[in-house]
Structure 1
Amino acid sequence: MNVPVSRASNPSGVLIVGGGLVGASLAIALDAAGIAATLVETAAPRADAQPSYDERNLALARATVNGLAAIGVWRHAAAQATPIRHIRVSRAGEFGSARIDADRQGVDALGWTLPARELGTALLRRLDECTRLTRLAPATLAALEPRADGWRAQIGTPDGRRSLDTPLLVGADGTGSFVRTQLGIAAEHHDYQQTLFVCTITPERHHANRAYERFADDGPIALLPLAERRCGLVFTVAADDAEAIAALDDAAFIELAQRRFGWRLGRLNRPGKRHPYAIHRVAAAQLIGPRAVLVGNAAQTVHPIGAQGFNLGLRDALTLAELVAVSPDPGAAELLEHYAARRTPDREGTMAMSHGLVRLACLPQPLLAPLRSLALLACDRVPPLQRALARRGMGFRGEPPHAVLERLP
C-alpha cells in the first residue's frame, strides 16, 4: 500500500531509498528543515515489520541523543532509555583497563541505551507528525534513469510502478545497497568470520548504569545497562562456532557468556531470545555520485565493536540535512562535495577505530599483552587521553552536524 503522509507541491523532492533507522531520521530532519522529501520503505510502516527495528539494544552516544532531540524524536523515546554513566573497557587475562565516568567529563551521561525496536517506534511516531514528507510503503526502487537535473526513479508498489523525478537521490538502503550498485560505486568487503549474538540478561548485581566492553581472543563481549536491572548482552563468537552456540540451551549459553564476561556483576541469569548476526565490514569507495549520496550502512557498515554504526549513520543524515536546508539546489555538486569533505574525517576515523580494535584487542598474541595493558592504563590515567577518548565515544568527532553540538565544560 502507499502511505502518503502529506501532499507536497513537488511530488518527490529529495528521494530517500530506505526507511530504516538512518533513512527515517534523515526524512524527519529534512521535514523539520522545511524540505519536501519522499521516503521509499520496503516494509509496511510498523515497528514489527521494518527489519532494522529489531531486537538489538543500541548504545546511543551523547551526540546522537542531542541530534534525536533536535529533530523531535527523543521525546518519544526518552522514557524507554537508560543512561550510561560509566564505561569499563578491559581485556581478558591482562592487567590493564580503562574507565570513563560521566562525572569526570562534567556531564550527566555519556550516552543512553535503547532497544532498537523502541527507537523504531519513536521514529514512526515522529514520521506521523511530518507535514512535508511522502512515504511509500511497502515499495522498492526498481530502476533509475539519469537526467540533467537529477534522477527519474521507477518505484515498485503493490499498485504497480510509479515514476518520480528527484534532484537528489539518497541511498539509505543498508549494507547491500541497491542504490550504491546502480550508481556504479564499488565497495570494499571484509568478512570478520565472526557472528554476533544479542539478547537480554539479568545479572545478580545491579549494573549501576555501567556499560562493559571486554576483549578476548574469540572476540569482544559487551553488557549494556537497561531498565529493570536488565542488561543487553552483545556476544561475539567465531563464525565456525555460531551454529553450535545457537543450538545451546539457555543454561549452557549463559555459562559460556559467564566464562567470557567474568563475575564483576555476579551470576548472569534469565537470557532472553537470542538473535545472531554475521559481522562484515563494507566501505563504499566514495560517498557521492552525480546528484546522489550514500548514508548510513549503504556508505559504511562497521564492526559493532564500540557500538558506532547508527551513531555514525545519524551524523551522516544530520549533516546532509543541514547542508540541504541552506542550498537552493539539494543535488548541487558543490553541496555534495562539501558533504563528503565534512563526513570523511569522522567516517574514516570511526572505521579505523572499530577495525583496529578488532585486530589489535582480540589478537591472541602474548607479546601484545603488555602493550595493550599499558595503552588501556594510559587512557585511564592520562587526562588528555581520557578526555579525547570520551569525546570521541560521545560522538563529538571531526566537524559534527550542528544539531548534535552542546557546550561541554
Structure 2
Amino acid sequence: MRVLLSTYGSRGDVEPLAGLGVALQKCGVETTVCAPADQEFVELLERAGVPLAPAFSPVREWAVKAMANREKMDFPKRAAEIIAAQFDAISAAAEGCDLIVATGLFPSTAAAKSVSEKFGIPYVYAAYCPYFVPSTHHRPHEYPGRLHPQGITDNRMLWDLDVANMNALFGGAFNNHRATIGLPAVENVRDYIFTSHPLLACDPVLGPWKATDLREVTQTGAWILSDERPLPDDLIAFIEAGPAPVYVGFGSMPMHASKDVAEIAINALRAQGCRAVLSRGWADLALIDDGNDCFFVGDINQQALFSRMAAVIHHGGAGTTTTATRAGVPQLVVPQIADQPYWATRVAELGIGVAHNGPVPTFESLSAALAIALDPATRKRAITVASTIRRDGAMIAAKLLIDSPSREGSVPFGCGGTSQLVCQKRIDR
C-alpha cells in the first residue's frame, strides 16, 4: 500500500503529517509527504525518515507577506494560483498511490481532492482543530470582508452562510480549474472538500469533538512526531544555572502587529524575577541586550525543552499547544489568527494556563497574564492534565486508514464523532 500525505502550510501543518507518516511506515505502508520544500521542513522530514515530494513552492516567504497584507489579499486570485500549481505537484507525487490524505490551506486540499477524483484515488480530509469542522457548537471561521452578519447568533445559520462565503472565495477558482482538467463543476465547494466524514487529528481532552448533526467525525488524537534531538549543552547549562526559565516563542507567526514583542516579554519576565529562553521563529525575535538572564535558540526540541520551563509563552498553534500540554507546563497563549483563539480558550478552560486578551501584548497585559500562568495552582493543574493526553493518535489514524480505503473516492471509517472509544476498541482487535 502507498499513501500520499498532502499539505501546504506552516510547520504546524507539516509536522503532524510526518508523525502520521512514521506511524504508517511502522505498519508497512510506503508513505510520502507532499509539502513545501522550506529548509526546515526538508530537515524535519529527513529526521523522520519520510520522503518529501515538494509542493509547488516554499511557504515561509509567501506566508509572511500574506499575513502582513491579509486584509487586502485577493483570495480568489491567490486560490486559483495555488489550486493549479498544487494540482500539478500533487498529481506527480500521487502516481501509484492507493490513498491521499489532505490537510492545510483550503486551496491545497481542493487541489488534492481534484487529483483524487481525476485519478480515482480514495481521499481523506483531516483537520487539526474542531474549530474548522462544521458544528452546531461553534461558529465558522471569518474571512476578511466576509464577517458574520450582526444579529445572527444561530450557529447552524452561520454554517449555511459559510457555504456561500467559501463558494464566493474559492468556488470560481476551483471550478475553473476543474473545467481545464475535464472534471465537472461542484456546487458546494466546502462540503465536497471537507467530505461528510473527516478525520480530526487533535487530542480529545485538549480539543474535544461534540456530537452534531452537521458532520460525522472520527477523532484520533494528535499526530505527534517524536523528537529525539538532545538539547544543546550550553542551553542545559543555562537552565541548570538558576530557577526554571520561561520560554517565549511564536512559531510561524511573523507578529507584524507587535514589532517589540521580544522587548515586552523580556521586560515583563524580568519584572517578576524570571529568566527567559527566547526562540527566533518567523517573527525573527532577538535578544534585547547581553544580559545573562536570557538565552536565545533557533529550531529546538520543544518536547525536551518545555518540561524544563516554568511556563511557555506562545501563539497557540495546535502543535505547540499540544506539546506544552503534554509537558505539563503552564501556558500563556497570545493568539494571532485562525484556530489560535480556540486553543487559547481551551488552555484557560482547562486551567492549565491563561489566554491573553487579544493578539498584541503590552507590558501590563503580559505581566497580569504571567501572574496567573506562574501561580503554583496552574502548574499543578497542568501536570494533572498532561497525564490524560493521548500519545498514540498517529498510530490510531494509521490503522484506520489502512483498514478503511474505499474505491468510491472517500474513506468511510465506520465510527462517528462520539465513537472514539469504539474506534479504539476496533483498532485494538
TM, length-normalised to structure 1: 0.34
So what's the TM-score if we normalise by structure 2? 0.32
The answer to which structure, 1 or 2, has the higher relative contact order (CA under 8 A, 6+ apart) is 1
More helix by share: 2
